[in-house]
Structure 1
Amino acid sequence: MARKILRIFLIVIVLLLVILAVQAFRYRDTIQRVFLGGVKIYETQPPELPASLPRPAVLVFSKTNAFRHEEAIPAANALFRQIAREKGWGYFQTENGAAFRKDILSRFDTVVFNNVSGDVFTGDRRSAFENFVDAGGGFIGLHAAGDNSHEDWPWYARNLIGAAFTMHTMSPQFQTATVRLENRESPVLTGLPAHWKHNEEWYSFAASPRLKGYHVLMTVDERTYNPEGMFGKDLRMGADHPVIWWHCVGRGRALYSALGHQAEAFRQPEHVRLLTNALSWTARQTGSECDIAQPGPRP
């Protein structure tokens, strides 16, 4: 009897191992991206751009070598395409990191990192983008563009984004909370109400970028949601919990928004208005910030 039970037990174990192996093979790409340091894909041939691009022009980049936001990325790409069309701007979207060359970047006024994740560039591509921003190019980073998958690029993580991601909400993951404007005079916030409700996977950071002199545009009210992460981790930052901020990098205008995990975020009127304003501001069509080169930390 004991041998029969043992045999059944071993058969069950083997079946479970087979099921796990099949699932691991099926989801191997996701496992590599999320748990094993991401994939290492680096393009060498740049994409073919249109012969002419109206100026201002926006480059939307959505490459992911780590976790991929499958629903949010196409929704955001479509929104920026629509904004550019309505403004009469040039627009180009790519996931090809080889596009980050001096001659190609010189055709654009601002670059959007649409939920970019992981280590997506070789060293020369990094340098080209750093020089583009320092010389006055614009940057908008959305959601995963500020997570902890970018730590291998110190200039990007510490200087361009400027805040260290710690964790996002998990109890539950998506929650509706109240966001509040911090600086009504900024052209990025033109036409927006003083506060509104937004459903999001809320990011927390090790410290507010305000401590580094960055300009916070929006905070989230922690009293309106449960700031708790995996295994009950306390994600509270207190009264100063920024979700959108800007600063100068040389003469470049850099703006980061922690919003944008879900496709619905790119259909919410307030968020659409904010991103429309941010695009104009980073492309130097509004405001006078960063006209004089600002010294900044370079790792």
Structure 2
Amino acid sequence: MRLFLRCLLCCLAFCNLARADPQFKLLVLAAPNKYHYEYIPVAREGFERLGKLHAFEMTYATGLWALDGDLKQYAAIVLLNTSGEEFSDAQRRKFEDYVNGGGNVAVVHRAIIIPPGKWPWYEKLVGRSFTIHPMMQTAVVRTVDAGFPATFGVPARWIWSDEWYELANPHDVAIRPVLNVDERTYDPGRIWPGQVAKGMGADHPVSWYHSVGRARVFVTALGHDVNMYRDRHYLDHLYGGIWWAATGRGVAESR
């Protein structure tokens, strides 16, 4: 019995030691809003599994109170369907200081959207501005940068169903597209009465990355439905981009 207890204590000590040495720490902001709230517990489970699999630590916050703390502890902040339009003035200043100091960001789906002119700095951070989207439809997503980690876990031609955001570039920001959607495989004009969507043509990015000063920024417009946060390909896509944002690794090794 004593031998069993000693072995058990050694195992617990080893497990605690392993958990105490994460690669990096993330802040995941998953605040509810009108159209995105059901995903929150499902995405949390997905992120927790990723954390155990890939040995990173995470603060998963469903309120913006997390921005009031020490942001320097985080290798990256993940804006998970949580847009900067919801930040207070003080939180905006703290977030800007974090990024200007070299803090990294991953922007996911709804977090892209902010009313034009409300916070131009944030629009430049994202790199593209949302204009409209048609009804959710199935389409083919095509890899355009096979050397970027957010593509490593997805097919080169990927059948996916989402809201295909149409985007503008009012601030003339240079981005590096990762995934494009093929507009020939869905109807860009399928939209609600009174609204008009026309598509973007052959150059329609749905994921990209760029730098803002010393900060790395990864963006994906994919991720509308709650069930997507159970999908292996989507989680591989998401983690690949977050891993790059947090560490800067993965790109050079693949090229």
Deviation at 1:123, TM superposition (A): 2.0
- Alignment length (residue pairs): 231
Equivalent of 2:90 in 124, 131, 134? 124
Distance in 2 separating the partners of 1:138 and 1:262: 25
Aligned to 1:214: 175
Q: TM-score, structure 1 length as denominator?
A: 0.70
- Bigger relative contact order, structure 1 or 2, given CA contacts below 8 A and separation 6+? 2
Deviations 1:73-121 (A, max 9, x none): 33222212221122221111113323224x6211111111111146322
Equivalent of 1:61 in 29, 34, 38? 29
Equivalent of 2:72 in 82, 106, 109? 106
Aligned to 2:63: 96
Given that 1:53 and 1:107 are in contact with CA atoms closer than 8 Å, whether structure 2 keeps it comes out as no
Q: Which amino acid aligns with 2:62?
A: E
SS at match of 1:119: helix
Deviation at 1:235, TM superposition (A): 2.7
Distance in 2 separating the partners of 1:207 and 1:123: 24
Q: TM-score, structure 2 length as denominator?
A: 0.82
Q: What are the ranges of 5 or more consecutive residues in structure 1 without an aligned counterpart? A: 1-51, 290-299
Distance in 2 separating the partners of 1:90 and 1:226: 41
Equivalent of 1:190 in 132, 152, 158? 152
Deviation at 1:126, TM superposition (A): 1.1
Identity of paired residues, percent?
A: 33
Most deviating of 84-93 and 240-249: 84-93
Distance in 2 separating the partners of 1:283 and 1:58: 8
The reply on whether 1:146 has 2:112 as its aligned counterpart is yes
Q: 1:155 to 1:244 in 2, by over 3 A?
A: same
Distance in 2 separating the partners of 1:133 and 1:108: 11
Q: Which amino acid aligns with 1:213?
A: A
Equivalent of 1:202 in 164, 171, 178? 164
Aligned to 2:234: 271
Given that 1:118 and 1:149 are in contact with CA atoms closer than 8 Å, whether structure 2 keeps it comes out as no
Deviation at 1:71, TM superposition (A): 2.1
Given that 1:166 and 1:206 are in contact with CA atoms closer than 8 Å, whether structure 2 keeps it comes out as yes
Distance in 1 separating the partners of 2:139 and 2:85: 31
Q: CA RMSD in A?
A: 2.4
Distance in 1 separating the partners of 2:73 and 2:25: 7
Deviation at 1:124, TM superposition (A): 2.2
Q: What are the ranges of 5 or more consecutive residues in structure 2 without an aligned counterpart? A: 1-19
Deviations 1:195-231 (A, max 9, x none): 110011221113499x632111011000101112333
Q: 1:127 to 1:275 in 2, by over 3 A?
A: same
Distance in 2 separating the partners of 1:138 and 1:223: 34
